[in-house]
Amino acid sequence: MAVKKSAKHAKTAEKQKKATKNNTDHVLKYKGVKAFKSTHPDIKKLRRQNEAPSIHGNKIWDSSYVLMDFLRRWPPGDDLTIMDIGCGWGVLSSYLAKQFDANVIGLDADEAVQPYFDYHAQENNVDLAFSVGTMKSIKKSALSDIDVLVGADICFWPELGSDWKKLIKRALDAGVEQIYIADPGRSPFWDLVKHCEKKFDGQVWSHDIKKPFESEKYILEIVV
């Protein structure tokens, strides 16, 4: 016997289907992790419930995706402890934890990004640590347990370039073995590149991706 859905139930099912599709449209799936756009209903809800980020922590920046692809092609290794400087919403941190089974510490100067960071960790089923602080606040002793430093789109002010120079020196002195910084190519970044090529044998790479969108960034790499 054929059983028909009532018009009410059919309409409800259609609404649910449409809502699911709309939510999917607001999520990027990239390299095994989910990145939630600022337009996603859950992100909008977080915005209503929490203080708004104030230091450019209002979305996921493209450099994170480019650095993820770069590290996929030239992996830093497994079972490492990695500090993600200027971690923002934590998509890069989630990727590092999932892809390389890494112990990841996300550090950001803006405490208001933590709800978004925690949300991405939860949705990607990874355990991440979050710490509030600036590059200046990271002491050499805190770097002694770190294997790798990463940063994406965190060289947008001249003073940040200066902070990176000092942090890199402290990190290498503390035993950090790998550093990767991704940037669109702003002037503070190129000043940092010039400094690191001379002082730390750093190298800079141009790297592009085609998905989930086309983008080209530059990666400063320092490997001991």
What's the distance, CA 173 to chain centroid?
A: 25
List beta partners, residue 131.
Answer: 107
Question: Which of 175, 150, 90 minimizes the C-alpha distance to 125?
Answer: 90
User: In the numeric block, which tokens belong to residue 125?
Assistant: 């089923």
Mean per-residue pLDDT for 21-33?
A: 80
In the 8-state DSSP scheme, what is residue 152? E
Prediction pTM value: 0.86
Residue 98 to residues 86, 93, 94, 127, 198, Cα–Cα distance (Å): 19, 9, 6, 9, 34
**Whole-number average pLDDT of the chain:** 90
Give the separation between CA 49 and CA 18, rounded to whole angstroms: 25
Phi-psi region of 128 (alpha: psi -120 to 50; beta: other; left: phi over 0): beta
CA dihedral 55, 58, 59, 64 (to 10 degrees): 10
Residue recorded with tokens 């449409």: 18
Dig out the tokens for 108 from the structure: 């950001």
User: pLDDT by residue (tens digit) across 84-114?
Assistant: 999 999 999 999 999 999 999 999 999 999 9
Domains of the chain: 62-223 (3.40.50.150)
The arithmetic mean of pLDDT across residues 175-192, rounded, is 97
* pLDDT band (50, 70, 90) for residue 24: low
Above 70 in pLDDT, residue 21? Answer: no
Tokens of residue 34, six digits: 């989910």
Q: Is the dihedral of CA 87, 159, 161, 145 positive or negative?
A: negative
Residue 217 clears pLDDT 70, i.e. is over it: yes
How many other CB atoms sit within 10 Å of the CB of residue 4? 7
What are the helix (H) ranges across 82-149?
Answer: 91-100, 114-123, 140-143
Q: What Rg value do the Cα atoms of the chain yield, rounded?
A: 20
pLDDT at site 20: 39
User: Around 196, how many Cα atoms within 13 Å sit in the side-chain half-sphere?
Assistant: 30
